[in-house]
């Protein structure tokens, strides 16, 4: 379903005039509804309770033996990191972090800082590491992308917002259209509690179905790092094969 058809469906439900174009429209009501559509998209993309499967990406880069890693250490569509997903594949060890500003400054204040593992920190546009990793290692991690919209003819998401009538998104169109409904009612000062509840129930259901959920083990977690050498907690500095 395109951005235009989602707006048309929402307008039909709200008993509003149905526009024949959205992004070339100049009337205030259509401009407001297209803004609400993008507001809905942003809120879904940044939904706090889940990692949407289709927003998950993997990124790799090659390390420098320096504090500041190369510019391609963070991709252009980077929104935020998936926690505890970063590993140095060359050394087969985790990259810990993100380090807090306090930890970073304490580490940098030491005259000598050595470790068999290193940590990372994102500061501004810089991807920082300490201690300095070996040059040439391959580091991989997963992150959440800002791209959730397909332009006409695209096979992968290439936009972070709707900008044309023919744009589409991988988010469920019914979920997005219901989001536009309650946002419009709220913007006009009308009751929207029932519409909001219907929307939030659908969002929670779609989020739960977006990807699999691991089985919880009350006896403790099995090691995701096996097979191969890894550095267990409280066993510094040795690596256990």
Reduced 3-state DSSP string for 107-168:
HHCCCCCCCCCCEEEEECCEEEEECCCCCCCEEEEEEEECCCEECCCCCCCCECCCCCCCCE
Residues 60, 132 within the same domain: yes
How far apart, in Å, do the first and last CA atoms of the chain sit? 51
What pLDDT digit, counting tens, does each position of 12-32 carry? 999 999 999 999 999 999 999
* Domains contained in the chain, number: 2
Q: Is the pLDDT of residue 221 over 70?
A: no
Same-domain check for residues 68 and 101: yes
Strand residues in the chain grouped as ranges (E): 56-62, 78-81, 87-88, 93-94, 119-123, 126-130, 138-145, 149-150, 168-169
pLDDT at 133 (0 to 100): 92
User: In this structure, are 22 and 79 located in the same domain?
Assistant: no
Mean pLDDT of the residues in the chain: 87
With a pLDDT cut of 70, the percent of the chain lying above it is 86
Three-state DSSP at 237 gives coil
Least confident of 26-35, 44-53, 69-78: 44-53
Does some domain include residue 16?
yes
Is 159 contained in some domain? no
Domain match, 44 and 81 both = no
Same domain for 37 and 59, yes or no, is no
pLDDT band at 214 (very low <50, low <70, confident <90, very high): low
- Structural domain boundaries enclosing 203: 3-50+171-209
Which of 49-53, 90-94, 225-229 is predicted least confidently? Answer: 225-229
- Do 39 and 64 lie in one domain? The reply is no
Tell me the CA distances in angstroms from 72 to 18, 184, 201, one per residue in order.
45, 40, 39
> What's the full length of the chain, in residues?
241
Q: Between residues 147 and 212, which one has the greater pLDDT?
A: 147
The one-character DSSP state at 169 is E
Q: Does 98 lie in the same domain as 139?
A: yes
Q: Are residues 186 and 106 part of one domain?
A: no
**Percent of residues, the chain, with pLDDT higher than 90:** 70
Is 17 inside a domain boundary?
Answer: yes
pLDDT exceeds 50 at position 109: yes
Average pLDDT over residues 3-14: 94
Answer yes or no: do 111 and 37 share one domain: no
Q: Is residue 228 part of a domain?
A: no
pLDDT value of position 107: 86
Are 93 and 231 within 8 A, CB to CB? yes
């Amino acid at each position: 379903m395109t951005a235009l058809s989602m707006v048309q469906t929402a307008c039909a439900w709200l008993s509003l005039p149905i526009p024949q174009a959205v992004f070339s429209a100049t009337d205030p009501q259509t401009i407001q509804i297209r803004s609400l559509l993008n507001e809905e998209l942003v809120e879904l993309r940044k939904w706090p309770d889940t990692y949407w499967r289709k927003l998950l990406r993997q990124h790799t880069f090659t390390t420098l033996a320096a504090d500041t890693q190369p510019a391609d250490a963070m991709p252009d569509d980077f929104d935020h990191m998936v926690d505890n997903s970063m590993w140095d594949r060359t050394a087969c060890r985790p990259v810990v972090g993100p380090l807090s500003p306090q930890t970073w400054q304490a580490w940098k204040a030491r005259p000598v800082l050595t470790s068999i593992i290193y940590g990372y920190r994102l500061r501004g546009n810089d991807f920082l590491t300490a201690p300095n990793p070996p040059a040439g290692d391959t580091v991989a991690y997963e992150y959440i992308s800002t791209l959730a919209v397909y332009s006409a003819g695209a096979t992968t998401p290439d936009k972070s917002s709707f900008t044309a009538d023919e744009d589409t998104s991988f988010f469920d169109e019914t979920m997005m259209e219901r989001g536009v409904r309650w946002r419009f009612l709220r913007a006009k000062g009308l009751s929207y509690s029932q519409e909001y509840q219907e929307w939030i129930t659908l969002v929670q259901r779609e989020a739960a179905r977006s990807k699999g959920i691991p089985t919880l083990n009350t006896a403790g977690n099995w090691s995701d790092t096996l097979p191969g050498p890894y550095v267990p907690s409280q066993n510094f500095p040795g690596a256990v094969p």
